[in-house]
Amino acid sequence: MKVKFTGKELNLKRIGILTGGGDCAGHNAVIVGLLRRIEQANLALPSDERMELIGLLEGWKSLIRDPEKELDKIIRPLKLIDIEESFTVAGTILKSSRTNLFSKENIEKKMPNQAMENLKKMKIDCLVVLGGDDTLGAAGKLGQQYTFPMFGAPKTMDNDVFGTEMTYGFESSVEESVHFIENCRTTAESHNRCFVIEVMGRHAGWVALWAGIAGGAEVTLLPEEVVNLDEVIKKVEKSIAKKQHCIVVVSEGARLFDTRYPEAVNKRHQEMLNTVIADPKYAIVKARHEMPKKKDSFGNEQLGGIGDYVMAILEKHTRIEYRYQNCGHAIRGGVAHVMDRILGLRYGDAIFDFMKTGSFGVYPGLEADKIVPRNLLEVKGGRFVPQDHQLFKMRNAADYY
């Protein structure tokens, strides 16, 4: 297909596509949505303009391998007849990795240059990158630095990419989180217990917010709020007095301590934590607290475990029986729920439209139910839950009785 790129005619024939970062529902739907349009267009194109979609395996890692020696580990030619049903499944048929081409170490190793050389060796005419703000940001940098045609699609179960009202992967993670919460509630009711349930959400608490409300959680703790455990204790005790059970949902990015918290809150939380760490019963919490924090290749702190802290402190200060459960990666996988199937297919369809009109260096965003092009160079994370959002004030069921 002949299009215009930087004022010159470009014949797009081999289109590469990769998925980067954490897996989620909707990746496969984007691939199918784009491939549908490619194969449809091929029916009317002359033979020298027909396109093929080439899957690049394991995200950016595919472009720093040697295609002359490891081609079978790098590419997967894609045919619609072979993958057309994959859009109903979460995960990614192209596999993924957290590979940062622009880390200090990889820049010193000239990995971006190697990636571009490998694209040329494989005769890739343009690249479609599916991922969150880190993955899309790398696509923007690479496209600008080497004047290479790039497209993106915004994924993240956290729903925190600027430029779109919803990312694919979010709705399925909420649905799976709600099922997890509901399953825990039956046990909580049966044994008069309080469950502390941790869900994913690094800096943005959209998953916890939606799942907490939809799952009827008595308390939901978000990264965007000042967590005050004395207030949490009051809500839990209120719930136990009314119903003899309680569900507390905690986003993995929620914090006990923060520089933006009032000094009195940080001090109080430290006192609470000290009583837990001093108790041999909570040796696991103490060990977790003393472990060094790990970071991924993009410099993001690897989270997980805040629910363990919250559970231990609540149990120590309320004398109610508790259980801690972490949804973890379970809410990433399984089936792709309806919204993510539709959204992924729409994004793939939109990418082809951008391609056809020569609108390069963009990714599709959802705005008032319309797809609009967003600049890859402007992508970033941190689409937080605003405290004036309607759902923010609705998040704690205990406030209503």
Structure tokens at 213: 């409300």
Q: Cα 53–379–55 angle (5° rounding)? A: 15
Residue of 218, 196, 189 lying closest to 285 (CA atoms):
196
Angular region, 302: left φ>0, alpha ψ -120 to 50, beta rest: beta
Query: DSSP H helical segments within 122-228, as ranges?
Result: 133-146, 170-191, 206-214
Kindly give the interhelix angle for 263-277 and 229-243, rounded to the nearest 10 degrees.
Answer: 60
Residues with a catalytic annotation lie at 158
The answer to whether the CB of 211 falls within 8 A of the CB of 174 is yes
The answer to whether the CB of 33 falls within 8 A of the CB of 348 is yes
Residue of 33, 327, 333 lying closest to 181 (CA atoms):
327
> Hunting for tokens 């069921």 — which residue is that?
397
